[in-house]
Amino acid sequence: MKNIILAISLALFCQSCSYAISPEYAHQADKKISFHEIRQDPMLHKGKLVIIGGTIDQVRNTDRGTLLEIVERKLDYWGRPERTNKTGGRFLLEYPAHLNTLLYVPGREITAAAIVHGEAAALADQDARIPVLLSQELKLWEGRQNARTGPQWFDPLHDPYGSVRMQ
Its pTM stands at 0.74
CATH architecture, domain 22-140: Beta Barrel (2.40)
Cα–Cα distance, 138 to 143 (Å, whole number): 16
Provide the residue ranges of all domains of the chain, joining segments of one domain with +: 22-140
* pLDDT tens across the length of the chain (167 residues): 666 665 565 555 554 557 888 899 989 998 899 999 999 999 999 999 999 999 999 999 999 999 999 999 999 999 999 988 899 899 999 999 999 989 999 999 999 999 999 888 777 676 678 999 999 999 999 877 665 665 566 666 666 655 554 44
